[in-house]
């Protein structure tokens, strides 16, 4: 059974836009999954990528932008639906926080459907924020 296999976590492992696209699509996260050149740019310009693998299959990803000193923006946290509810998202966040260090605050924007999830894995809801939305 797939869900019984060992999950291997890697920091800054090479990932293809096709693998990332697949995880995004199978996780339910809304990202430009069919725009492979854009996904490649997202991979190339991330400061930290933590991944979860079963054999050679990417099943989870945390992609972040950080200064490694004060703040870290968790841009993407996605886990393939067949591997959700196994603690993979929590472990990806734990490994990210360990990687960037205790001085660094983790920040993220949540989709409405994930608002209940993030407090469950240690995030505190904040109300003070602003954004200029992307155009596409």
**Global confidence as pTM:** 0.89
Regions of the chain with pLDDT less than 50: 1
Range of the domain at 27: 2-120
Q: For residue 60, give the CATH number of its domain.
A: 3.40.630.30
For position 4, what pLDDT does the model report?
65
The total number of structural domains in the chain stands at: 1
Tokens coding 116? 């209940």
The per-residue pLDDT for range 57-85, each reduced to its tens digit, is 999 999 999 999 999 999 999 999 999 99
Residue 130 domain flag = no
For position 1, what pLDDT does the model report?
43
């Amino acid at each position: 059974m797939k869900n019984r296999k060992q999950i291997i976590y890697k920091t800054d492992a090479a990932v293809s836009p096709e693998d990332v696209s697949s995880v995004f699509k199978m996780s339910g996260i809304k990202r430009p999954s069919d725009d492979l050149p854009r996904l490649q740019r997202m991979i190339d310009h991330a400061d930290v990528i933590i991944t979860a693998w079963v054999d050679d299959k990417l099943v989870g990803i945390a992609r972040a932008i950080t200064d490694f000193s004060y703040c870290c923006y968790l841009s993407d946290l996605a886990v393939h639906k067949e591997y959700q509810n196994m603690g993979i998202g929590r472990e990806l966040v734990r490994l990210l926080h360990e990687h960037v260090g205790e001085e660094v605050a983790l920040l993220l924007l949540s989709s409405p459907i994930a608002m209940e999830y993030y407090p469950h894995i240690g995030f505190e809801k904040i109300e003070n924020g602003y954004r200029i939305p992307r155009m596409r």
